[in-house]
Amino acid sequence: MTPPDAPHNRWSDLDRPPLNVTALRRGLLRPDALWRSLEVVESTGSTNTDLAGRARAGEADEGTVLVAEEQTAGRGRLERTWTAPPRSGLFFSVYLEPGDIPVERWGWVPLLAGVAAATGLAKSAGVDMALKWPNDLLVTIPKGSDGRRPGETSPGEERKAGGILGEFAGDGIVVGLGINVSLRADELPAPTAGSLVLAGAVSTDRETLLRAVLRSLEHWYGEWKAAGGDAAACGLQAAYAAGCATLDRTVRAELPGGTSLVGEAVAIDGDGRLVLSTEDGLRQPVSAGDIVHLRGAAGGLT
């Protein structure tokens, strides 16, 4: 058997130390806190799949957090896969039970997670984060960085550094987050991808980042629940709009069923839908779809 500290072992990257589960629990699990349990596994297919299975079996309480050092079959929207080298990012899912909040308002939970992640990462990593509706986390690769790959446009464009996936399970909802932290340029899965380190993060300590995101998520979830799920009343709707890079751009919404809609993204409505103003003067809310940024302040296609 190969010793676990062998130089060529994929788990032995000294720049990517393992998470300290004891320290994380000490910092996050309190009698009055949302987070009730936290588990870190070395490798799994998908934390969302695992946690959703537990929830459906009645084996997960609200506030359960499942973290993986590596995901081999991470899932995003539209059945896309999400993979990254071991310990190169944050790959985790949480289970929430909004309880008396009307189910029609639960669609705000993944958007809430986006606001929480962007806020937490901006503070802890010192990186300006933006949200692409409905569930992408964007960073800007600064001019002069080594983030460029052959055939790409120059650095300075927005790149996807994370994604969020929510799914109903049991009596609640599982929300999964995948965030590229220390991926180097040659490790990026696509030309449109980015990472916190390539965006100039002042810290890539994953324990610090995870604590910051979970504390921010606890704050926003508490505010949203206290307001009865009213995103406007608790400030969530305004916070999402303020951080949303999709607004004020011309976009193409690729809708379920193979149709598409082009228009200017003008608002996030009370149900968390993206409102497009089309050429014929109509305002069309989009509740689900893949959004392509066609034109905007940053220029180019994203």
Domain CATH number, residue 111: 3.30.930.10
Say if residue 153 is in the same domain as residue 194. Answer: yes
Same domain for 210 and 75: yes
Q: Please indicate, yes or no, whether residues 289 and 169 belong to a single structural domain of this protein.
A: no
pLDDT at 282 over 70: yes
Average pLDDT over residues 140-169: 74
Tokens read off for 302: 């994203």
pLDDT band at 75 (very low <50, low <70, confident <90, very high): low
| 7 within domain boundaries | no
Structural domain contains residue 207: yes
84 HSE (CA, 13 A, CB side): 28
Q: Do 139 and 281 share a domain, yes or no?
A: no
Residues in CB range of 198: below 8 A, 6 or more apart: 139, 141, 145, 146, 147, 159, 183, 184, 185
What distances in angstroms separate CA 9 from CA 3, 33, 86, 181, one per listed residue?
Answer: 8, 38, 11, 20
Question: Which residue range is the domain that position 264 belongs to?
Answer: 247-295
pLDDT at 59 over 70: yes
Q: Is residue 143 part of a domain?
A: yes
Q: Is residue 105 part of a domain?
A: yes
Shared domain for 202 and 77, answered yes or no, is: yes
Question: CA 276: distance to chain centroid?
Answer: 23
Q: Is the pLDDT of residue 296 over 90?
A: no
pLDDT in tens, 215-257: 999 999 999 999 999 999 999 999 999 999 999 999 999 998 8
Q: What is the pLDDT of residue 77?
A: 52
The proportion of the chain whose per-residue pLDDT surpasses 70, expressed as a percent, equals: 85
Beta pairing, strands 64-68 & 37-41: parallel
Residue-level pLDDT at 81 = 63
Based on the fold, state whether residues 169 and 110 are members of the same structural domain: yes
Judge contact between 81 and 90, C-beta under 8 A.
Answer: no
Same domain, 210 and 135: yes
* Total of domains in the chain: 2
Q: Are residues 235 and 274 both part of a single domain? A: no
Judged against a pLDDT cut of 60, whether residue 152 lies above it is answered with no
Average pLDDT, the chain: 89
Q: Which residue has the tokens 């509740």?
A: 287
Q: Return the structure tokens found at 158.
A: 């927005």
